[in-house]
Chain A
Amino acid sequence: MPAALRRLNLGRLAPLLWLGPAIALIGVVVLWPVVVMVQSSFQQIGGEGFVAGYNGTTNYSNLFREPDFVSVLLRTVLWVVVIVAVTVLVSLGLAQLFHQRFPGRRVTRWALIIPWAASVMMTALIFKWALDPNVGVINVILHHLGVVQKLGSNQADWLGNPTSALIWMMAVAIFVSLPFTTYAILSGLQGIPGDVYEAASIDGATSWKSYLQVTLPLLRPAILVATLINVINVFNSFPIIWEMTRGGPGYQTATSTIYMVDLKQGDVGQSASMSVINFLLVIVIVLVYLSTTRWKEQVDQ
């Protein structure tokens, strides 16, 4: 460190002064809620938040005995895997397209970010309306095309049927995840020097071959980070299912986040134990994230 700055060193505790507010904020908003949540998961708590006392692992054993618990967890896994996999695959194509030079590229990229900038809740409501069995625009178009025989029929009630509801909601989740993922991969593409491609074309590689053998391996860090951030976002995703089906009918379209929020209205303690399980899953994801990204290189720079 340069001498002039070193002379102004306020002592070894000085960094604490600069970092203190940040640590305090993280403590209040992120760390303490975790403590409260774990504590609540071992307590019996009434509807108004009144704590009746500790009840050991009763909340957990009750939760595991819930008839919907296993199916909700399995659906959460399906929800995350399908959405993230499709998002990354489609984004690879979109990034390749928007990396090309063509007239009007800036305007088209601007359109691409809209689902990212808009609130996910609003996007979910637009699709909920568009899927309305009687007047929704998707149904009206499908009716014109002859796919939907009769408006207002069971066939047009996509969100009333658990399977088709889940597929539509996954489509919306993919739609809102595409902009960030595409941008992350685009920024990876921009980091690849042009001479890499020239070398590949001299070696006689076709464009598809050079994509698989040159571009894709170099994009690995970008894809990895985008995937993990998407996994966390999609795992915690709430507004889409909440607005479109509320997790119903029954819990047939609920993921663990929806289930947790719903449990909270009846049994706060059991909801807390669901949160703890969700949280442990998130920690596993974070550990994977930290071990695969090169965060340490960045920090030690």
Chain B
Amino acid sequence: MITTTKPAPRLSTRPGPARRARRPLRTWLVAGAAYLIAVIFLLPYLEMFVIAGRPNNELGDATIFPKHFTFSNFTTLWSSGLGGSIGTSLQIAAGATVIVLLVALPAAYCTARRRFRGRTPFLLLVLATQMFQPAAMLVGIQREFTNFGVPPTLSLIIINAGFNLAFAVWILNAFFSSIPVELEEASMVDGLGRIGALLRITLPLAAPGIVTALIFTFISAWNEFLVALTLSLGQSTSQQPLTVAINSYIGEYSVDWGHLFAAGLVATVPVIILFAFIERRVVSGLTAGAVK
């Protein structure tokens, strides 16, 4: 499992000497194709800048680029309660992340270190939850949380924590399993005690896994749309999470595209940067070690 979380082993994929002679040209062809694909993946998101920066009087022009560029959509964005939505989204994402870590750390540590009856059923349960998505049980979630009168923001914290638990358990389990028990034992003998060894030796060594779980949970809670839409429907825009609040720029007859994409950039750019940090490790948590 842990092999997949290490940086890519540098393998030689060159089949033979005949190919080696042509390699410089081939390398540049490969690079050119890769650059082109990278641009294709980037373009839709760059387009957000183009629309957000388009002056209002040019929104009706059928041109690829506007004649002028303005930042007014970004500065007037804040009067519409967007600050409140960012606050709500931050609360939900941070709350879910804290709960996931508090709940997943002991579970992952215990299943990595000990063999006991119920371990396999537990891991099977975790794996099964990874296969379920809120969309599949939306009616049940909505009725459960509204019947108990749980406030929307708190509901969304708990729900996002629950649906990201599996990823965190898997990736932390892999990291804990890779840390030699002997290392913990040695520090316990040195007088640190079990909890001391856990806090000072094991947790720091598992830090990359913890950071990955943390960022992944934060991003998926930040981006979550369907449950947020369902539970925060009757609320004022500033109390709705960002993904839902952005939709308030879509009116019955017209759409305020400039503000919509300015808000979209605020919602998107931070998570893209965060995701870049965990890019190499995130696959192993999702595929649960089945890819070796």
Is A216 part of the contact surface with B, judged by Cβ < 8 Å? Answer: no
Q: How far is it, in angstroms, between the C-alpha of A122 and the C-alpha of B249 when the chains are bound?
A: 13
Q: Are A151 and B3 in contact (CB under 8 A)?
A: no
Q: Are B162 and A29 in contact (CB under 8 A)?
A: yes
Report B-chain residues with C-beta under 8 Å of the C-beta of A175. Answer: 44
Q: Are B279 and A109 in contact (CB under 8 A)?
A: yes
Q: How many residues of A contact B (CB 8 A)?
A: 121
**Which one, B77-85, B117-125, B204-212, is touching chain A?**
B117-125
Q: Are A35 and B140 in contact (CB under 8 A)?
A: yes
Q: Are B103 and A25 in contact (CB under 8 A)?
A: yes
Report A-chain residues with C-beta under 8 Å of the C-beta of B39. Answer: 111
Contacts A23-B122, A119-B225; A201 near B138 (Cβ below 8 A): no
Is A236 part of the contact surface with B, judged by Cβ < 8 Å? Answer: yes
Is B34 part of the contact surface with A, judged by Cβ < 8 Å? Answer: yes
Q: Are A29 and B27 in contact (CB under 8 A)?
A: no
User: Contact mask A108-147 → B, CB, 8 Å, 1/0?
Assistant: 1111111111111111011101100011010111010000
Q: Are A239 and B158 in contact (CB under 8 A)?
A: no
Is A53 part of the contact surface with B, judged by Cβ < 8 Å? Answer: no
Interface size class on chain B is 35 or more
Q: Are A141 and B64 in contact (CB under 8 A)?
A: yes
Q: Are B126 and A225 in contact (CB under 8 A)?
A: no
Report B-chain residues with C-beta under 8 Å of the C-beta of A198. Answer: 12, 15
Q: Are A275 and B136 in contact (CB under 8 A)?
A: yes
Q: How far is it, in angstroms, between the C-alpha of A238 and the C-alpha of B244 when the chains are bound?
A: 13
Q: Are A257 and B135 in contact (CB under 8 A)?
A: yes
Q: Which residues of A (169-223) have their CB < 8 Å from a CB of B?
A: 175, 179-180, 183-184, 186-188, 190-194, 197-198, 200-201, 207, 210, 221-222
Is B31 part of the contact surface with A, judged by Cβ < 8 Å? Answer: yes
Q: Are A108 and B38 in contact (CB under 8 A)?
A: yes
**Which one, A62-70, A75-83, A160-168, A290-298, is touching chain B?**
A290-298
Q: Are A15 and B286 in contact (CB under 8 A)?
A: no
Q: What's the minimum C-beta distance from B125 to chain A, rounded to whole angstroms?
A: 6
User: Contact mask A153-165 → B, CB, 8 Å, 1/0?
Assistant: 0000000000000
Q: Which residues of B (146-171) have their CB < 8 Å from a CB of A?
A: 146-147, 158-159, 161-163, 165, 169
Q: Are B13 and A293 in contact (CB under 8 A)?
A: no
Is B189 part of the contact surface with A, judged by Cβ < 8 Å? Answer: yes
Contacts A22-B165, A49-B143, A290-B127; A225 near B27 (Cβ below 8 A): no
Q: How far is it, in angstroms, between the C-alpha of A271 and the C-alpha of B137 when the chains are bound?
A: 10
Q: Are B15 and A200 in contact (CB under 8 A)?
A: yes
Q: Taking CB as reference atom, which chain A residue is nearest B226?
A: A238
Is A260 part of the contact surface with B, judged by Cβ < 8 Å? Answer: yes
Q: Are A298 and B288 in contact (CB under 8 A)?
A: yes
Is A261 part of the contact surface with B, judged by Cβ < 8 Å? Answer: yes
Q: Taking CB as reference atom, which chain A residue is nearest B135?
A: A236
Q: Which residues of B (60-110) have their CB < 8 Å from a CB of A?
A: 60-64, 99, 102-104, 106-107, 109-110
Q: Taking CB as reference atom, which chain A residue is nearest B114?
A: A15
Q: What's the minimum C-beta distance from A202 to chain B, rounded to whole angstroms?
A: 8
Is A268 part of the contact surface with B, judged by Cβ < 8 Å? Answer: yes
Q: What's the minimum C-beta distance from A189 to chain B, rounded to whole angstroms?
A: 9
Is A251 part of the contact surface with B, judged by Cβ < 8 Å? Answer: no
Q: Are B45 and A271 in contact (CB under 8 A)?
A: no
Q: Are A275 and B132 in contact (CB under 8 A)?
A: no
Q: Contacting B48 at CB < 8 Å: which of A34, A126, A207, A290?
A: A126
Report A-chain residues with C-beta under 8 Å of the C-beta of B127. Answer: 290, 295
Is A94 part of the contact surface with B, judged by Cβ < 8 Å? Answer: yes
Can you list 24 pairs linking A and B with CB atoms under 8 Å apart?
Answer: A8-B194, A18-B107, A22-B165, A25-B165, A40-B140, A101-B13, A102-B31, A114-B272, A117-B272, A117-B275, A140-B63, A151-B62, A180-B283, A191-B292, A194-B13, A221-B290, A225-B287, A233-B133, A257-B135, A278-B136, A286-B128, A293-B288, A295-B127, A299-B124
Q: A101-B27, A122-B246, A140-B63 are in contact. List 5 more A-B contacts (CB 8 A).
A: A36-B144, A111-B37, A120-B225, A125-B260, A264-B230
